Amino acid sequence: MDQAAGSAQDAQRVPVCYRHPDRETGVHCTRCERPICPECMVSASVGFQCPECVRTGSGTGHSPAASRPRTVAGGTVTADPRLVTKVLIGLNLAFFLVQSAVGDSFTDRFDLIGQAYVPLLGSVQGIAHGQSYRLLTAMFLHGSYIHILFNMLSLWWIGGPLEAALGRARYIALYFVSGLAGSALSYLLAAPNQPSLGASGAIFGLFGATAVLMRRLNYDMRPVIALLVINLIFTFSWSGIAWQAHIGGLVAGLVCGYAMVHAPRRHRNLIQYGACVLFLVAVVVLTLLRTAQLT
């Protein structure tokens, strides 16, 4: 009896999502009061509701047909909340297969490089020579099996839950803005003949946004902070890692993530996408500045 009572008390102290028993949560449905994780949260006029309450129109004052389920950040709730993450992983794997099949000549055409003579291509290449597309294409290239394995596992573990919490459109915006911010900072600060590639900039942006989201939902911050610190230690202690891309992506993820989960309902879209646009403007400005320096 005492042991059973103790177990019940432990369960009350650490509630878990009623639909996903393996996920601890501190958020409850404002209608039925069942604990719900970010994947199950639907934004309501006050707090969050569970999918069942939203589906039946409970507590909204509207019919089920008029009810529009929303994520924590105001995005549309979808049947597959990890679809974009799966597509991104598929694109990265497809590019890596092409790299493996074609060889270094393909990688040299699309990795991030400021300005350098590339022997395999027989000419001077780089963003400073009008190849600004490298800021984007470098985000989908990887240098080894370990490199892509580590990044894709991180993308699945971090990106999936974040996509469910933000919604597809906001998640896509966050991913590409973070990746481009990382590419731009790398272009600005790294040596012009130093090539770099990888999805790490975008993934660090997802790390930053996840930290903001967990803080917003009053989750235990220690796991994500510990994971972020470990990644930063690797970033600055191992040679050959483009720390500029990691820091640029992380800053973009923190700022845009904060805008997405803290934006007031009335001006939500303006603030959320406005923050992303401001970072894209910053990417353009940094790129033009560095190009002017090199040319």
Q: Which residues are catalytic?
A: 200, 246
Residue 58, pLDDT > 60, answer: no
Per-residue pLDDT, 63: 40
Residue bearing the bigger pLDDT, 43 or 179: 179
Q: Which two tokens stand for residue 294?
A: 């090199």
pLDDT score of 25: 79
pLDDT band for position 12 (50/70/90)? very low
Q: Is residue 226 very low, low, confident or very high in pLDDT (cuts 50, 70, 90)? A: confident
> In which band, very low, low, confident or very high, does the pLDDT at 138 lie, cut at 50, 70 and 90?
very high
Position 1 pLDDT exceeds 70: no
Where is average pLDDT lowest: 18-22, 51-55, 212-216?
51-55
Mean pLDDT to the nearest integer, 49-78:
65
| CA–CA gap between residue 12 and residue 129 (Å, rounded) | 61
Q: Indicate the pLDDT class of residue 46, thresholds 50, 70 and 90.
A: low
pLDDT-derived band at 187 (thresholds 50, 70, 90) equals: very high
Check residues 223 and 127 and name the one with the higher pLDDT: 127
Domain ranges of the chain: 2-55, 83-294
pLDDT at residue 291, rounded to an integer: 96
pLDDT band of residue 57 (cuts 50, 70, 90) is: low
Strands 42-43 vs 48-49: parallel, antiparallel or unpaired: antiparallel
Q: Whole-structure pTM over 0.85, yes or no?
A: no
Task: Share the mean pLDDT of the chain.
Answer: 86
Torsion angle (degrees, nearest 10) of CA 97, 160, 271, 28: 180
Q: What is the pLDDT of residue 94?
A: 97
Q: Are 219 and 25 in contact (CB under 8 A)?
A: yes
Please state the rounded mean pLDDT for residues 77-102.
Answer: 94
Of 35-44, 81-90, 134-143, where does mean pLDDT reach its minimum?
A: 35-44
Q: Give me the phi and psi of 117, to 5 degrees please.
A: -80, 125
The arithmetic mean of pLDDT across residues 71-83, rounded, is 84
Kindly tell me if the per-residue pLDDT of 166 is higher than 50: yes
Q: List, for residues 233-244, the tens digit of each pLDDT value.
A: 888 877 778 899
83-294: CATH architecture: Up-down Bundle (1.20)
Asked if residue 33 has pLDDT above 90, the reply is: no
Rounded to a whole number of angstroms, the CA Rg of the chain reads: 22
Q: How many CB atoms lie within 10 A of CB 157?
A: 15
Element (H, E) at 225: helix 222-237
pLDDT of residue 45: 57
